[in-house]
Amino acid sequence: MSWLVWRQHRTELIGLALVILALAVFVIGTGVPMRGFDGGLACLGTNAAPSCGGQGDFERAFGWLTGIVGWFNLIPLLIGVFIGGPLLGRELERGTHRLVWTQSVTRTRWITVRLLAVVGLAVAVGAGIAGLMTWWRQPFDLLDSPFAGAGFDLEGLMPGMYVLFALALGAAAGAASRKVLPAMALTLPAFLAVRLPIEFWLRPHYAPPITALVYGSGGGAPPGAWVIDSGLIDSAGTRIYASQATQLCGNPATGSLPKSADACLHAHGIFERVVYQPLDRFWPFQFIEAGIYTALCIALLSFTVYWVRHRLR
């Protein structure tokens, strides 16, 4: 049975392996120069040695790469669409499930092996992406936060969970629609409709964020924290826009608000308010979000097994 699954999907799996290989080449090709820059990792973050050059130089040299890495978030989606959708959809569309189910293999075994392969693939791809990206993002995690950019999405448990969720979606859509293209077409929006709201609406609230009021402007959140919101407020708590602050304390002609204006802002009762999630919540948040996706995957996989066992012929 596992031979059949491999034989049916080897083209897609080889394609996927090439994608991961390309990813590894990119990660090593850019990760090694990043570590050779200036004093390497020791020169990044708050503990950088005084002898180091400016960290801004590092940002200027390599910061743009994070924009490319953000696209790696599409890998789970593509796996879901191109492997998950056809996983059951192609078989059901062409009627070959009737061939397999009447060899000496029950349909329960057929679906079990397929879904186990899905879990195995998610674990392997997830571990691969997370391993590569955790190593690659080390400088950025020091410089900024592992929450920032695509750090949370590409490190830890999340890549594997996204791959599993996308594959489970594709499989469920394939079982329900019994067609390849509708299964693929359904997987794409369904994945985004879950993945994006969870990232933008739920993730910042897995634990109540910490609010800090800081004298003057600038700074405020501890190193590595995920700053969800920051801005100036007055003593009544109303938001002060940068233009207003500049009017009051800065140089309206140039529109700048220098650090020296802090005393002036304080005199006006204006504080910087920072809302953030501290760095030590990275793993708890990973487990919470992984838990949400685990629940979704269990629901989807149970649906698929039920559907295959009782609703298909």
Partner 1 sequence: MSSALSAAGLSRRYGKTWALHECSLEVPAGSVTALVGPNGAGKTTLLEIAVGILEPTEGEIRLLGTPMRGQTPSLLSRIGFVAQDAPLYRNFTVLDMLQVGRHLNPRWDDALARDRLRRLRIPRNRVCGQLSGGQQAQVALTLAVAKRPELLILDEPVARLDPLARREFLESLMEIVADGGLTVLLSSHLISDLERVSDQLILLSEGTVLLAGSTEDLLAEHAVLSGPRHNVEAVAARCQLIDARATGTHATVVVRRLEGPVDPRLTVDAVDLEELVLAYLRRRPAPLNAAEPVLVGGVS
Interface residues toward partner 1, by CB under 8 A: 1, 3-4, 7-8, 94-96, 98-109, 313
Q: Which is nearer to partner 1, 9 or 137 (CB)?
A: 9
**Residue 303 CB, nearest approach to partner 1 (Å):** 19
Tokens of 151: 């750090």
**Residue 45 CB, nearest approach to partner 1 (Å):** 52
Q: Which is nearer to partner 1, 108 or 251 (CB)?
A: 108
Judge contact between 107 and 309, C-beta under 8 A.
yes
What is the enclosing helix (H) or strand (E) of 273?
strand 271-277
**Residue 174 CB, nearest approach to partner 1 (Å):** 16
**Residue 149 CB, nearest approach to partner 1 (Å):** 40
| Euclidean distance between CA atoms 20 and 132, whole angstroms | 10
Residue with structure tokens 């993730």? 203
Q: Which is nearer to partner 1, 29 or 95 (CB)?
A: 95
Residue with structure tokens 């959140």? 221
**Residue 16 CB, nearest approach to partner 1 (Å):** 18
User: In 3-state terms, what secondary structure has residue 228?
Assistant: strand
Tokens of 250: 């800065």
Q: Which is nearer to partner 1, 7 or 259 (CB)?
A: 7
Q: Which is nearer to partner 1, 96 or 260 (CB)?
A: 96
By the 10 Å C-beta count (0-12 exposed, 13-18 middle, 19+ buried), 253 is classed as: exposed
CA distances, 73 to each of 69, 121, 156, 242 (Å) = 8, 17, 14, 33
